[in-house]
Amino acid sequence: MSQKKRKPKPKRSGNPGHKRPTAVAAPATELTFDRIGKPEIDRILREQLGMTLAAAIERSSVASVQGFVDELEHEDDAVLVVQNLEAELGIEAGIDELPELDLEQDLRLLRADIDQQAQISEVDKRLLTICREAMVFLERRAVRAEKELEQAVRRTEQAESQASRHERRAEERVSESQELRGKLEAAEAEIAELQERLASARAEGERLEHELQDAPEEPVAGTADQGTIDDLRKRLKEREALLIDAHQEHERLEISLDVARNEVIRLHRELDGAAPEGVEAEEELPEVETVLEAVEEAQRRCKHLVFTERALETAEDSPFWRPDMVLADLIKLDKVAEAYERPEGIGQPVGQYAQDLGLDWRSGVGEVWYGIHPNDYHFSHEGHTLRVAEHVRVANGSGAQRCARVYCAFHPGSDLPDDLPRGVYVGPVGRKLPDSTTG
């Protein structure tokens, strides 16, 4: 029989001399290695696919990797069969020329070679399956990454838009503050002028009264002087009324300027994204369109305040233009309620604690108003009547659109079974209750 050249057998498995141990049951999600260990599988995957065993398991199914390991061990068996047959036929490993073989021997060697090549093809198919699954995994991860990038871009655009709104609002508040400062300066100048004119009028009136007292009683002359004095007294009353109006306007402008300044400071803090030293950064709150939405949002967030039906009814009736300020103050007031519920107490006056949190706190209501407006200053909850004692001044502008209050009652609680528990109960929210300033 003619001799022919044979290519060397490819050997990709590990140590083929080991006997297969008894298989041990393993969980379905874990790989089993009978003869070829993890380091060898890891090396083969890096050489063939450029990925480690851990990466192959992450990016493809465990079943695919397990099938690859099994087929690789079957290939190991095929290589061992060829090696044993070559040893039986006297063929030395690594030679290019085969010895003289009879037809049966040549057929046996050819079948062994075919089986080995078929097993190598199966291993290659398993590698291709792992590679395809890895590509699908990477494509899906790329899609997820692209979606996350789009979401990040949208969040960035929203943050930039919100920052622009805050910046515009800050500029508007600065402009409003400057306008109020101009009005305040004009009012102060007018007050100074009116004070001078009032002092002159009073001095003229006193001089005429002294002259009238010292002058002899003459019927004709007395009538003329009396008319002059009445005219001066009338003018004096008019000047006093103007001075009172100027003082009231001055006070209103001071309050408006203070509100505008505080709003400008708050907007600048929001724009800079930083809180002043010693103050915690404020929680980002959702946008609310009405005072009722602000109260309902606070009711969901606040764990210690008790919101009564009166709070919801009055909030629905309030036209206040900045419901976000009401929501922010209710969140702060919830911290006051939390401190009030402590058995050991707050450790300082409630008003001081509230002011430290940034609330414009007002304590006490004149006893006379409980009798004059009982329906306004009393509210009920679960069959109990509570009385307004403290309130938060949210804004103090002119009119219901620019003025808002949050009234509440601090109930101490008791050991009686039917009494309300200790806590802070929110009453009227929005419009200012009638008092000496409302008439």
138-175 per-position pLDDT tens digit: 888 888 898 899 899 988 888 888 888 888 888 888 88
7 pLDDT band, cuts 50/70/90, is very low
Distance CA 127, CA 45 (A): 8
Q: Is the pLDDT of residue 15 over 70?
A: no
> Distance of CA 295 to CAs 1, 238, 259, 283, 423, Å?
102, 46, 22, 16, 18
At 361, the amino acid letter reads: W
pLDDT, residue 14, reads: 42
**Range with the poorest average pLDDT among 135-139, 166-170, 301-305, 363-367:** 363-367
Strands 423-430 and 306-307: parallel
Question: In the beta sheet, which residues pair with residue 379?
Answer: 386
**Range with the poorest average pLDDT among 106-110, 378-382, 410-414:** 106-110
Q: Is the pLDDT of residue 278 over 60?
A: no
pLDDT, residue 197, reads: 75
User: pLDDT of 202-239, one tens digit each?
Assistant: 777 677 766 666 655 554 445 666 677 777 778 777 77
Which pair of structure tokens corresponds to residue 341? 């519920």
H-run or E-run covering 221: helix 219-272
Distance CA 302, CA 328 (A): 11
pLDDT, residue 28, reads: 47
pLDDT, residue 404, reads: 94
Q: Is the pLDDT of residue 320 over 70?
A: yes
Q: For 303-402, where are the E strands, in sequence order?
A: 306-307, 361-363, 378-381, 384-387, 390-396
Q: Is the pLDDT of residue 70 over 90?
A: no
pLDDT, residue 25, reads: 40
More confident residue, 273 or 410: 410
Average pLDDT of span 89-93: 77
> Distance of CA 194 to CAs 161, 200, 233, 248, Å?
49, 10, 16, 14
Q: Is the pLDDT of residue 1 over 60?
A: no
HSE of 114 in the Cβ direction (CA atoms, 13 Å)? 6
Average pLDDT of every residue of the chain: 79
3-state secondary structure of 14: coil
Distance CA 207, CA 326 (A): 56
pLDDT, residue 224, reads: 60
**Range with the poorest average pLDDT among 118-132, 303-317, 339-353, 355-369:** 355-369
269 pLDDT band, cuts 50/70/90, is low
Full-model pTM:
0.40
Dihedral sign computed on CA atoms, order 148, 152, 153, 158? positive
pLDDT, residue 420, reads: 93
**Range with the poorest average pLDDT among 43-47, 128-132, 206-210, 304-308:** 206-210
Task: Tell me if 240 sits within 8 A of 198, measured CB to CB.
Answer: yes
Dihedral sign computed on CA atoms, order 377, 432, 247, 233? negative
Q: Is the pLDDT of residue 250 over 70?
A: no
3-state secondary structure of 436: coil
pLDDT, residue 257, reads: 66
Q: How far is CA 255 from the centre of its chain?
A: 31
Strands 423-430 and 403-411: antiparallel
Q: Is the pLDDT of residue 114 over 50?
A: yes
Distance CA 285, CA 173 (A): 20
Average pLDDT of span 36-47: 85
275 pLDDT band, cuts 50/70/90, is very low
pLDDT, residue 223, reads: 60
pLDDT, residue 215, reads: 57
Distance CA 189, CA 332 (A): 39
Of 372, 386, 437, 406, give the one whose Cα is nearest residue 298: 406
Distance CA 22, CA 376 (A): 88
Distance CA 415, CA 246 (A): 54
Share of the chain above pLDDT 90, in %: 22
Of 348, 333, 356, give the one whose Cα is nearest residue 410: 333
Count other Cβ atoms within 10 Å, centred on residue 198.
15
Share of the chain above pLDDT 70, in %: 75
End-to-end CA distance of the chain: 129
Distance CA 240, CA 204 (A): 14
Q: Give the chain's largest Cα–Cα span.
A: 171
Distance CA 243, CA 95 (A): 123
pLDDT, residue 29, reads: 61
Question: In the beta sheet, which residues pair with residue 396?
Answer: 403
Which pair of structure tokens corresponds to residue 375? 């329906």
Which pair of structure tokens corresponds to residue 82? 């060829």
Question: Which residues make Cβ contacts (< 8 Å) with residue 71, sequence separation at least 6?
Answer: 119, 122, 123, 125, 126
Task: Tell me if 388 sits within 8 A of 379, measured CB to CB.
Answer: yes
Which pair of structure tokens corresponds to residue 165? 């709104």
